[in-house]
Structure 1
Amino acid sequence: MDRTLETTETSFDVIEAIQDLEGATLSELRDRMDLPKSTLYYHLNTLERRGYLIKERGEYNVGLKFLVHGQYARTRRPEFELARESTSRLANQLNENADFSVEEHGQLMVIHHVVGESAKHGFQLGQAENMPTTAAGKAILAEYPRSRVEEIVAEHGFEGTDRAPTSVGELLDRLETVRERGFAVNDEEWVEGLCAMSGAVTHPDGSVLGALSVMLPSFRFDEETMESYALPLRESIDRLEGRLESQYRSE
């Protein structure tokens, strides 16, 4: 296992605890983290002085400085901007939620999300999601070699509803269906009441950039809907991959 610095790990644990608690006092964090008061105070004071935490009326919360890093991460590659445009176009075309996700450290990260006119719920950008139980995750995994799929499952396991796969063998069968169908489906595997369709977006060299998805509530998800949404989804992916190829040719 790679070595890590314990003090850095603790600082990130503090940040994540504050976000989970939606703001916390020093005593609330002590109860949550079981750290000495002095140790916790030094971490809080350092993070506050660097601008990553704010303190209001005795309560600590996550600072807006993280937006600088998040925005940089979303725009550091020109391909991500092309993906943003494709996500917006697909959402407007189908009047549904659409997003673009990438794999990072074996988890699915949503970097662009657009809420369509008939959609009601949005997703939190940057939220890490389980790959084997999401449509975008399965779309990406279907492009990976079996060894990489097994590595991701070994590290992150399976999370989701009782419809989610529970073994590598079951997941591999579902990934084969993705390849045969041409897109991945999430039929309430990740969250009850939510379904999705997704397809992988690849670079000209065949490597995976991410996955473009459309999401809708389960009561509107059936075979007819899948058939009607499959073509717009495929066309959006083809258009994005065409723009990626043009971009690489011009470099």
Structure 2
Amino acid sequence: MQNVLNALRALEEIAALQPVGVGDLARAMELPKSTVQRTLGTLSEAGWIRQAEGTPTRWVLTTRALVVGRRASGELGLRDVAVPVMERLRSHVDETVHLAVPEGERVILVERLETSRPVRIVLPLGQQLPGHASANGKAILAARPDGDVERYIAAGLADFTDTTLTDPERLRAELRAIRARGYATNGGEWRSDVSAVAAAVLGAHGLPVASISVNVPTSRMTPELSADLGARVAAAAKEVGGALEHLRQTP
């Protein structure tokens, strides 16, 4: 049983830290390197993880982990609907477009369409995004009931950069502004080099099932670009939400 628990813990840590080496993973799991090395060998043989390119050896999740997660959350249907809309959005703005889904209190990146520009934002699939310090996270948080927001705030607002919203009242005001304009913004609040806009995809009962974002290097983001991208991403999220509603109503 302990071996199974170690494997599951390793998958969670790899998803959060990837690409990650055995030493860093052992420290994160607080286990001996020899134990973690055996666990990595088992997961690799089973096809759940693979070695990243380059040296030293570091590990990343394979698509098997993503597919299982998508099946568990019903995200495969979401992806089928969302990707064509995301592709049109990317063709118009030529910036990186992301799809993220809520998982409990977490927001997880599940799809990425990259820009053709040489300077770009690249986040690994499976990346956990902070609810209060990322555009995707804030878009989803703003679409949740007030009780969910208060539980999130009560758990503590981690500080990532000089612009992270760590004051509860400022975050509440920001969420009200997001609801009013229809999209969230992030001006280097999680990583100083990353700016973004995002809008929630609403499902049954008006609750968020995903968010779509456009991510731009902070050096390229201007107020005018943010407003333009915000309008586009809000329209894209609304289109995906409408398509999902049509699927639910189709016999």
Please give the TM-score of this superposition, normalised by the length of structure 2.
0.79
Whole-Å separation in 1 of the counterparts to 2:129 and 2:97: 16
Residue 30 to residue 168, structure 1, CA distance change in 2 (3 Å): closer
Whole-Å separation in 2 of the counterparts to 1:106 and 1:148: 9
AA matched with 2:215: M
* 2:63 aligned with 1:73: no
AA matched with 2:176: E
Whole-Å separation in 1 of the counterparts to 2:223 and 2:33: 57
How far has the Cα of 1:174 moved from its partner?
A: 0.8
CA-to-aligned-CA distance 1:179-225 (integer Å, 9 cap, x gap): 12221110111111221111111025312111111111223322221
Please tell me whether the aligned partners of residues 92 and 117 of structure 1 are also in contact (alpha carbons under 8 angstroms).
no
Whole-Å separation in 2 of the counterparts to 1:30 and 1:108: 25
CA-to-aligned-CA distance 1:47-68 (integer Å, 9 cap, x gap): 466454679xxx976487x422
Please tell me whether the aligned partners of residues 143 and 208 of structure 2 are also in contact (alpha carbons under 8 angstroms).
yes
How far has the Cα of 1:149 moved from its partner?
A: 1.6
The 5-angstrom pairing of residues 1-251 of structure 1 reads 8-14=4-10, 16=13, 22-24=20-22, 35=31, 43=39, 46-47=42-43, 50-52=46-48, 62=59, 66-74=62-70, 76=74, 77-118=76-117, 120-155=120-155, 157-251=157-251
* Unaligned segments of structure 1, at least 5 residues: none
Whole-Å separation in 2 of the counterparts to 1:203 and 1:249: 12
Aligned pair count? 241
How far has the Cα of 1:116 moved from its partner?
A: 1.9
Identity %: 24
Q: SS of 1:133's equivalent?
A: coil
Please tell me whether the aligned partners of residues 14 and 60 of structure 2 are also in contact (alpha carbons under 8 angstroms).
no
AA matched with 1:80: R
How far has the Cα of 1:101 moved from its partner?
A: 0.8
Residue 194 to residue 38, structure 1, CA distance change in 2 (3 Å): closer
Residue 246 to residue 21, structure 1, CA distance change in 2 (3 Å): closer
Q: CA RMSD in A?
A: 3.3
AA matched with 1:219: S
Please tell me whether the aligned partners of residues 22 and 37 of structure 2 are also in contact (alpha carbons under 8 angstroms).
no
Please identify the structure whose Cα radius of gyration is greater.
1
* Unaligned segments of structure 2, at least 5 residues: none
Please give the TM-score of this superposition, normalised by the length of structure 1.
0.79
Residue 84 to residue 155, structure 1, CA distance change in 2 (3 Å): farther
Please tell me whether the aligned partners of residues 140 and 211 of structure 1 are also in contact (alpha carbons under 8 angstroms).
yes
How far has the Cα of 1:136 moved from its partner?
A: 1.1
AA matched with 1:11: A
Whole-Å separation in 2 of the counterparts to 1:8 and 1:133: 33
Please tell me whether the aligned partners of residues 108 and 129 of structure 1 are also in contact (alpha carbons under 8 angstroms).
yes
Whole-Å separation in 2 of the counterparts to 1:84 and 1:131: 23
Whole-Å separation in 2 of the counterparts to 1:113 and 1:250: 28
Q: SS of 2:219's equivalent?
A: helix
Whole-Å separation in 1 of the counterparts to 2:34 and 2:107: 36
Whole-Å separation in 1 of the counterparts to 2:49 and 2:210: 31
